Amino acid sequence: MSSVAVAGARGRLGSLVCEVIEDHPAFALGAQLSSASGPEAGADAAILFDVSTPEASPRIVERALRRGQRVIVGTSGWSADRLRALDGVVREIPGAAVLVVPNFSLGSVMATTLARIAAPYFGSVEIVEAHHEAKVDSPSGTAVRTAELIAAARGGDPPAAPFADQPARGQLIAGVPVHSLRLNGVIARQEVRFGGAGEVLTIAHDTHARDSYRAGIRAALEAIRSAEGLTVGLERVLGIPVTGAA
């Protein structure tokens, strides 16, 4: 049995993560950490599962890695810059393993994979994401990661983003305009819209219930036991073919 401490255990995602751990015969739920927990709380667990806040996450993750814990990160905010810094930390620590999962939902991972495939073939692309009103960060971590992967798939050739300096045109992430909605009645939704000559391709994904994260959380737990170094994305764990960088 591997014991797992959960940072953010009382949150919307954290409480689901705790349920999945408790239901899994190979894992035991350890400390359930909140912002009130001291730095040493949960240090005895083999695995630290971080689902806290974008602000707290980097400190929580680095501390866990430096004390030899394997780490799963579901918290948003891990943009390319943060991931580069994390990779530096991981390389300093022999045997370190961290798995960063921007989205645990299989449908979302598939949608982002399809967007990566389409990216080189369309001259313009924009992302519209919608989330519940309690979400503290925007754009969403999934949208940031999707935009970065689209840019990488285009090999540095930025999409057309006319008049992008106007606030209503969204926030440019890796050259891709991203538009964020925060609405009562929504859990999570993302649309990637590709524009070509006389046509628009829309790749859309809806999260109707947080149950959609269960299978991905389980897969991440099973993968972290043999992971090495920094791994980003559930696609790597599930063996979904991906091309290009990152």
Ligand X SMILES: NC(=O)C1=CN([C@@H]2O[C@H](COP(=O)(O)OP(=O)(O)OC[C@H]3O[C@@H](n4cnc5c(N)ncnc54)[C@H](OP(=O)(O)O)[C@@H]3O)[C@@H](O)[C@H]2O)C=CC1
Ligand Y SMILES: O=C(O)C1=N[C@H](C(=O)O)C[C@H](O)C1
Q: Which does 53 bind (CB under 5 to 8 A by kind): ligand X, ligand Y, none?
A: ligand X
Q: Which does 223 bind (CB under 5 to 8 A by kind): ligand Y, ligand X, none?
A: none
- 95-154 residues in contact with ligand Y (CB under 6 A) are 102-103, 131, 135, 140-142
The span from the CA of 43 to the CA of 200, in Å, is 50
- 56-115 residues in contact with ligand X (CB under 6 A) are 56, 60, 74-76, 101-104
Active-site residue, selected from the candidate residues 24, 135, 179, 208: 135
24 is catalytic: no
188 is a site residue for ligand Y (CB under 6 A): yes
Nearer to ligand X, 11 or 170 (CB): 11
Nearer to ligand Y, 62 or 206 (CB): 206
Active-site residue, selected from the candidate residues 131, 132, 179, 205: 131
30 is a site residue for ligand X (CB under 6 A): no
Q: Which residues bind ligand Y (CB under 6 A)?
A: 76, 102-103, 131, 135, 140-142, 188
Catalytic residues: 131, 135
